[in-house]
Amino acid sequence: MPLIKYNNQSLSSITALPSGVPSGKLKLISSQTASNSASISFTTGLNSTYKVYRFVFVNIHARTDGTDFQFNMSTDSGSNYNVTKTTTHFRTFHNEADTSTNLSYGTGGDLAQDTGYQQLINGIGSAADESGSGYMLLFNPASTTYVKHFIADTNSYNQGGSYSYRSFNAGYGNTTSAVNAIRFQMSSGNFDGTIYLYAIQND
């Protein structure tokens, strides 16, 4: 395979990428804010216009201590959130007292051909200063050929004794139907926080 090189002479002199090279610019599609809400659903904005979408979670605060922030997909514009998923989940944590650390696979946070909700943020505390933040990438949701891949990276102030708890989740919705809606909710109870939906522009 030949080496492809751009014609720019140095990195400092690049002012624009050649046509067709992805720029990775974010375009805000919409945002929603929960205030003691049961769920947030995005039923518009996911379509064939863009191939990659990014959800950003800011200060997701659980109203019920120790509950998980989750999501599910819909192929019928939000009438049902029950797409079959196979996923992975691993986590790392460190407490404020510097007495406990861990990096491990979390079997309780994954799914195997399951239509249930997928965990994104584990065990968020409900105290006034406790919350979780992060993001999720969703790839080509409008495809009618391929399964729907996602990758998520989040961090929380965990309820289990002042822990910084980072979760890495990935997987796919096992459907070749277009995914056109996403719902976020807690495993139990309500939540506060803001979720932004961005599209990643290719040019």
The ranges assigned to domains in the chain are 23-201
pTM of the model: 0.87
Q: Are 168 and 152 in contact (CB under 8 A)?
A: yes
Residue 165 φ then ψ, to 5°: -125, 110
Q: Token pair of 189, please? A: 């109870």
> CA dihedral in degrees (100, 103, 105, 106; nearest 10)?
30
Q: Give the whole-angstrom CA distance, residue 85 versus residue 12.
A: 44
Band of pLDDT at residue 199, cut at 50, 70 and 90 = very high
At the topology level, CATH places domain 23-201 in Jelly Rolls (2.60.120)
Query: For 74-108, how does the pLDDT look when each residue is reduced to its tens digit (9 = 90+)?
Result: 999 999 999 999 999 999 999 999 999 999 999 99
pLDDT tens digits, one per residue of 16-29:
554 444 457 999 99
DSSP secondary structure of 62-119: ESSTTEEEEEEEESSTTS-----EEEEEEEEEEETTS--EEEEE-GGG--SSB-SPEE
- To which H or E segment does residue 153 belong? strand 148-158
